[in-house]
Structure 1
Amino acid sequence: MSRTAVPAMHREVRLAAHVDGELTQRHFTLAEVPVPRPAAGQVLVRTRLMAVTAAMRTRMTGAELPMRAFVPGQALWGSAVGEIVAAPSGGFTPGELVHHPYGWREFAVAEESVVERIDPDALPTPAAHLSQGATAWGALNRAAEVRPGDTVFVTGAAGGVGSLAGQIARRLGAGRVVGSTSSERKAVRLRAELGYDDTVVRGAGPIEPQLRRAAPDGIDVLVDTVAGEQLTAALAVARPDARFALVGALSTQLSGNGSVAAPVELDAALLITRRVTVRGFGLYAHPDLAQEWTREFGRGLRDGSLVFPHSLLRGIEQAPRALCELTQGHHTGSVLVEL
């Protein structure tokens, strides 16, 4: 028998209309619908926590995308932690905590194959299972292969990936870590708490001169979540044999113009003469990384060598506000909603 009483109705957040311009709470509706019933091979999950990410803004535009997009009138989805309520096939036990991809609703039916058990002892809190640290860990440890003494530049350093990337770079032996962010308020926290030696502030002048000041000897590694001017500046100050890991394009995702393309002009002569490696990195291509990161993250959280910066809003009705505030740059670290 389930440990959670199942109501007849539950709430889900739907996309009201495609976004063309600034994302506002008018782009969402909160609907009350019947709780779905699982069939054989499926489970019913009650969502406890869900994450909102910048990629969700991209899926709302109506543009042609290389990934599945949100549809007006239908519920959104995203990474979430939940509790098994019913499992007709017996593959899961009611009460188990799991990771599932159907956030933005209080209850969800999912195929057993897409639900992953959560070891309650692996991390100190369930919220930590929604960190974006696995992307930062993979980009630094595998794609860019940080070496002792490297100078590392992380763009979007106050975001879900960047707020852990600075700490991870330091953990891997980086000699100097520089991060970019959107305000001096965030920059202060990056330097004080999150492993960054210096910062570049978008809007405080051209990026390249700021980066040359912060990394006077050049950079060996780039973890880029932003693209645009910051990627161009990173190449301009790259040292020989620099390694670039590209994991996002926030300059486009949050631009509000409906575009999903991220055109950047790079100097081919610099790429060649400095032997710069540029590599795209996506967590989906490395299914083993999640468990590897969980072990590393758990050790770091318990011994105090890592922290998990995040904002937590409570109630599914706060999810639209959470995503709007994320796109407006109000938060540092991951943005989570507790249902």
Structure 2
Amino acid sequence: MAKNKQVLFASRPHGWVQESNFKIVEAEIPALKEGEILVKNLYLSLDPYMRGRMSTAKSYASGMELNDVMIGGTVGVVVDSKNPDFKADDHVLGYLGWQEYGISNGKGLNKVNVSERVPASSYLGVLGMPGLTAWVGLIGIGKPQAGETVVVSAASGAVGSVVGQLAKAHGCRAVGIAGGKAKCDYVVNELGFDACVDYKAGHLAEDLTAATPDGIDVNFENVGGEIMDTVFTRLNPFARMPLCGFVSQYNSTEPYGIKNFGALLGSRVKLQGFIVGEHTDLWPQAMQELSQLVAAGKLKYRESVADGLDNAPKAFIGMLKGENFGKQLVKIS
């Protein structure tokens, strides 16, 4: 049996994550026990939430222990099974972490249908946790109505790109916020957003005002910090704000001090933080709509793919810095 290459969590970062916070090792693959499945991972998902799991700070999920395999979503193929629910060559989606092979007892492992139109990697992005997050936050919490204006930060990323396209599918004006002209051009010209604000251009408030002449009815927040603070000033009465993430703050040692928080009261805004795993009742409806849109070619996505586990730490750091374009993946084999 081949060795199993793994990326371990070696040390806790202080501020920005460093490649030295990881350790790459090779381990033996243990023999399967009754009820277990051996999966060869094809792709690994890299996501901002992983940064929070590297910390000991109080959160909705416990932090990782040192020398554990880094946590992460994977899609792979079954190579051996002693579980009657899975057989060799099944494609499966799970959380087997940063490693070439993973062993599962079947809990949390789901079969997926892979085809030319719906490749394996899509189950880690548009049809995986990012896509579900986008749907649950926008449709389940934001409840957009036709004609309203929806704004989403990190608009070219795995979650934000789906949010904007869903907003358009539901008859809304979709405005993205992204970093750099290339990302904004992609969001408007390829994804079909109505407008995109380049926060790196240096005049965020003015550009956001121009892009949202009728104010903002739904703000899907991925970034936090100054961007979120600026959005507060454009929220319409009774706006809804699904709070998904604070990627601008994950590596900061100094929290951003919100200046415009009082706007939420004045506009009677509904702000709700959410974790997609706590809304599994909405997943079937979400997957039905997302799958139909992907199969029809109406939900577009882009992937940034790093080659090999050796490059996973570098790709993860780049993703936290916004260097990826679309969903950040690692192609394992």
Aligned to 2:16: 22
Identify the range of structure 1 (86-95 vs 187-196) with the bigger mean alpha-carbon deviation: 86-95
2:50 to 56, 59, 64: 56
Q: State the secondary structure of the residue aligned to 1:252.
A: coil
TM-score under structure 2 normalisation?
0.91
Aligned to 1:155: 153
Aligned to 1:68: 62
1:33 to 27, 46, 55: 27
Q: State the secondary structure of the residue aligned to 2:241.
A: strand
Preserved contact between residue 18 and residue 60 of structure 1 (Cα < 8 Å): yes
CA-based RMSD of the aligned residues comes to 2.1
Shift of the 42–264 alpha-carbon distance from structure 1 to 2, 3 Å rule, reads farther
Amino acid at match of 1:322: A
Aligned to 1:311: 304
Preserved contact between residue 163 and residue 332 of structure 1 (Cα < 8 Å): no
Q: State the secondary structure of the residue aligned to 2:206.
A: helix
Q: State the secondary structure of the residue aligned to 2:248.
A: helix
1:142, distance to aligned residue in structure 2 (A): 1.1
Aligned to 2:326: 333
Aligned to 1:115: 109
> 1: distance between equivalents of 2:116 and 2:274?
25
Q: State the secondary structure of the residue aligned to 1:325.
A: helix
2:71 to 59, 72, 77: 77
1:121, distance to aligned residue in structure 2 (A): 5.6
1:62, distance to aligned residue in structure 2 (A): 4.1
> 1: distance between equivalents of 2:11 and 2:199?
30
Alignment partner of 1:95 is 2:92: no
Identify the range of structure 1 (56-65 vs 90-99) with the bigger mean alpha-carbon deviation: 56-65
Aligned to 1:230: 227
1:146 to 117, 134, 144: 144
> 1: distance between equivalents of 2:154 and 2:137?
14
Q: State the secondary structure of the residue aligned to 2:201.
A: coil
> What residue ranges of structure 1 are gaps of 5+ in the alignment?
1-6
- Identical columns (%): 28
Deviations along 1:152-205, one digit per CA (max 9) or x if unpaired, are 11011122111211111111110x211111222211211111222222222333
Preserved contact between residue 233 and residue 260 of structure 2 (Cα < 8 Å): no
Shift of the 70–29 alpha-carbon distance from structure 1 to 2, 3 Å rule, reads same
1:281 to 249, 274, 278: 274
> 2: distance between equivalents of 1:229 and 1:294?
33
Preserved contact between residue 51 and residue 337 of structure 1 (Cα < 8 Å): yes
Alignment partner of 1:218 is 2:212: no
Aligned to 1:165: 163
1:8, distance to aligned residue in structure 2 (A): 4.3
Aligned residues: 328
Aligned to 2:184: 187
> 2: distance between equivalents of 1:15 and 1:302?
37
Describe how 1:282-297 pairs up with structure 2 within 5 A: 282-297=275-290
Aligned to 2:201: 204
Preserved contact between residue 178 and residue 198 of structure 1 (Cα < 8 Å): yes
Preserved contact between residue 247 and residue 320 of structure 2 (Cα < 8 Å): no
Higher relative contact order (Cα pairs below 8 Å, separated by 6+ residues): 1
Shift of the 291–48 alpha-carbon distance from structure 1 to 2, 3 Å rule, reads farther
Alignment partner of 1:177 is 2:174: yes
> 2: distance between equivalents of 1:50 and 1:264?
35
